[in-house]
Amino acid sequence: MPASRSPRIALIAGVAVLAVAVVAALTVLLLSKNEEQRAPDTKGGGENSPQHYAAMASREGNFFLIQWMVHPDGGQVQGRQTLVYFSDSGRLVREDGSDKNFTGTAGSDGSFQSQDLEGSPNTATVSGATLTFAVSVFNEKVWKMIPSAAVFDQAWRQYACEHQYPSCSSPDSNGT
């Protein structure tokens, strides 16, 4: 083999090795991003930290949010319901007082049973990106799992700008 081809072959081989390394690094990065998106919103670092979950539903300008956390010690559940809607006069109404809180016991993967969700017993089952109730909550049985309440807030704000306040950037929580 002539000596002039040897550096060219070495250069091509080096570029090929570099390309394989870049593809491998991008693959690892993309796989780790997908895992982060699928994981529940777990605030806290250790196994003894509560796991946080959220799900939402919406219908005709009414937006419903349920957030709950599962305590690893004993599997107790504490949760809160939020309702956002627009009054007949177009004013934003947000109901999320302490009367919207609930408690219960946890099953696997965020599923739970509650005796006081909307004032009656209910069972909620998580399956992939769906939360399904045995008895409808806010007239909805099937809810969408979301990574955080920020997704819920974005949904009602977008609806507000498209349907309630077309010239707005978004109303604040006081409806202005």
Helix (H, G, I), strand (E, B) or coil at 62: strand
- Statement to judge: residues 31 and 82 lie in one domain: no
Residue 55 counted as domain residue: yes
Residue count (the chain)? 176
Identify the residue with better confidence: 9 or 51.
51
In tens, the pLDDT along 80-138 reads: 999 999 999 989 999 987 788 999 999 877 899 998 888 889 999 999 999 999 999 98
Share of the chain above pLDDT 70, in %: 70
H or E element that contains 158: helix 149-159
pLDDT at position 34: 41
Residue 173 counted as domain residue: no
Residue 169 counted as domain residue: no
Looking at residue 100, the DSSP 8-state letter turns out to be G
Residue 119 counted as domain residue: yes
Residue 43 counted as domain residue: no
The yes-or-no verdict on residue 41 having pLDDT over 90 is no
Q: How far is CA 162 from the centre of its chain?
A: 23
- Statement to judge: residues 85 and 5 lie in one domain: no
In tens, the pLDDT along 4-20 reads: 667 777 666 555 544 44
- Statement to judge: residues 34 and 60 lie in one domain: no
Q: Counting beta carbons within 10 angstroms of the beta carbon of residue 74, is it exposed (0 to 12), middle (13 to 18) or buried (19 or more)?
A: exposed
Kind of pairing, strands 112-117 and 51-59?
unpaired
pLDDT interval class at 172 (50, 70, 90): low
- Statement to judge: residues 74 and 149 lie in one domain: yes
Domain count, the chain: 2
Mean pLDDT calculated for residue range 19-40: 43
